[in-house]
Amino acid sequence: MKARPEKDRNLVTDDQFRELRFNLLHSCSWINNSMRKFLHPHDITPKQYSILRILNEHFPESLSIQELRDMLADKMSDASRLVDRLEKKNLLDKFPSDHDRRSNRTRITTKGSELIERIDRDRKDLDAIIRERLTEGEVAYLNELLVRLR
């Protein structure tokens, strides 16, 4: 979808932008809280889930901590600390890079992959909350708008 012409964008008031910012922040908080509650029984946080999901998508390849950090939505997150916690839970392996001994690489373990599979099966319950409120077309349009906004 094309961006709106400049003249249409100028019609948006400051109050509408303020409301948009509030709604985006409020929705983000609501989604994060929903994810936190959903993941709590699995004993991982949303950021840890993101790391496992990324590693699972790239399996059998390993990723450096920096590559992981670059793929996370939250670029400021402490990926090293999160990786250490997941390693202690045996959900991923961390090992020195063959090319740079100062750098570590990570790969999801079988236990980590199994956890992602369980979470993905259970995620239907979490997705149902959104399905009750938005149609498939609205979800597609909202995704399009959010991508354009970034």
Which parts of the chain sit beneath pLDDT 50?
none
Strands 92-96 and 63-64: unpaired
Inside any domain, residue 6: no
User: Which pLDDT does position 128 carry in this prediction?
Assistant: 87
Give the tens place of pLDDT for each residue, 129-149.
889 999 999 999 999 999 998
Query: How many domains, the chain?
Result: 1
Cβ atoms of 96 and 107 within 8 Å: the answer is: no
> What is the per-residue pLDDT for 1?
53
Q: What is the pLDDT of residue 12?
A: 72
| CA-wise closest residue to 35 among 122, 132, 117, 111 | 122
What is the CATH classification number for the domain harbouring 112? Answer: 1.10.10.10
User: How many Cα atoms occupy the beta-carbon half-sphere of 111 within 13 Å?
Assistant: 9
pTM over 0.85: no
Name the residue with tokens 């109050």: 15
Is position 17 within any domain? no
Domain of residue 109: give its range.
28-149
